[in-house]
Chain A
Amino acid sequence: MLDGTTRAADEVVAVVPPALVECTVEKVAVNAVMAGCRPEYLPVVLAALEAVCTDEFNMHGILATTMGVGPVLVVNGPVASRIGMNSGVNALGQGNRANVTIGRAVQLVVRNVGGGAPGGIDRATHGSMAKLGFCFAEDEAGSPWTTLSEDRGFDRSQDVVTAFCGEGPRILVDQKSRSADSLVRALAEGLRSSVSPRVMMGMDVMLVLSPEHMSRFRDAGWDRNRFMAELSGHLTVNVDDVLAGAGGIEEGLPEGFAGMALPKFRPGGLLVVHAGGPAGLFSAIVGGWLNGPMGSEPTSREITP
């Protein structure tokens, strides 16, 4: 396993929460073997751990929270195809060794080295498969848009892993929209219920656009910026509909927000990735967790040999 990296076995990769233990490359390699990784996956695991074990990503809080969230890892750059990652059919599911074992290795390090065991520091009410290991690659070749990593300031030629604190994916169905305008409205409607229709701006989201959904925007000539602008326009919510007590539901925003129109997501709180098989008029939503300095920031790291 150690042959997969040029880094020294005794180099400290990260200080792993929750016990804040210095973790060496060798210790990561041991866990990568247990996860079933091949040696060429190790640089991705190491970079993912560097991203996850930062104060801004806040792995301690992600473990401790009762919400069932975990690090959702998206890989961009040539490394994804080089190590055989899946960005196509069943990209978010089983069956690809790299996707499944990289996410698992990261979780094993947090559990074995950091001490983040379920029922201990990990207090998730239900948990989710995002806590078992959730990693996939973006379909860059099939996308007319800039990539997630480019959107986050990297060059397309760089190998990058982005950690997003999220739950398991859920499907958003739209099989009838034939225009970009219709589809973007449908996506916005679905996104408004991310986590809860009554949570506003405090939690981010990842939208995984399928190739067939992407084709609507490709055909209309929309680039990423146009899509984000149109989508944001449809994600402004009339707060009166989600006030505490509205509709007989006690959950909701305080009365002080009455009469306002607010965006569902904070600026930068909507991450869009292109992945999935060639057939299927669905996209996937990965709901987030408390964002920003009070919670978790999406965190990217370059993958180096």
Chain B
Amino acid sequence: MSQPTVVLDPTAGTTPSDRTRNHRPPSLVGVTVGLLDINKPRGDVFLDRVAERLGEQGATVLRYTKPTFTKPAPVDLRHEIATQCAAVIEALAD
């Protein structure tokens, strides 16, 4: 009788967990929105304009910056944004 074939998995064998997105706020009045600058050139140009537009719609805007665009945002920064804001906009750049 032949030996059973064993197939080895080259992957991590994990699957990403599903997370439900927060509902979009029906209005921006009084909503705190975080703007995350990933620290690439001219990202601030884009975010300055976004901040202006959000302010016109009654949102409170908080600004954050990643230490470097080449690495994920540090856990502490993500926690700070999550606890202080109802929504976040991240700016790419160039």
Contacts and interface: CB of A to CB of B under 8 A. Distances in A.
Interface in A108-142: 108, 112-115
A58 B70 contact: yes
A61 B10 contact: no
Interface residues of A, number: 24
Contact of B68 (A19, A26, A113, A293): A293
A60 B71 CA distance: 7
Interface in A1-53: 16, 19, 21, 23, 26-27, 30-31, 34
A265 B72 CA distance: 26
B14 A61 contact: no
Interface string B70-87: 111000000000000000
B12 A19 contact: yes
Contacts of A294: 67-68, 70
A149 B14 CA distance: 37
Contact of A65 (B10, B14, B70, B72): B70
Interface in B44-74: 67-68, 70-72
Contacts of B68: 61, 293-295
Nearest to A293: B68
A290 interface: yes
Nearest to A114: B12
A30 B12 contact: no
Contacts of B70: 58, 61, 64-65, 290, 294-296
A165 to B, nearest CB: 10
A58 B71 CA distance: 7
A112 B8 contact: no
B71 A113 contact: no
A58 B68 CA distance: 11
A293 B68 CA distance: 8
Q: Which 10 A-B pairs have the closest CB atoms?
A: A61-B70, A21-B12, A294-B68, A112-B10, A30-B8, A112-B11, A30-B10, A113-B12, A295-B70, A31-B10
Interface of A: 16, 19, 21, 23, 26-27, 30-31, 34, 58, 60-61, 64-65, 108, 112-115, 290, 293-296
Interface of B: 8-12, 14, 67-68, 70-72
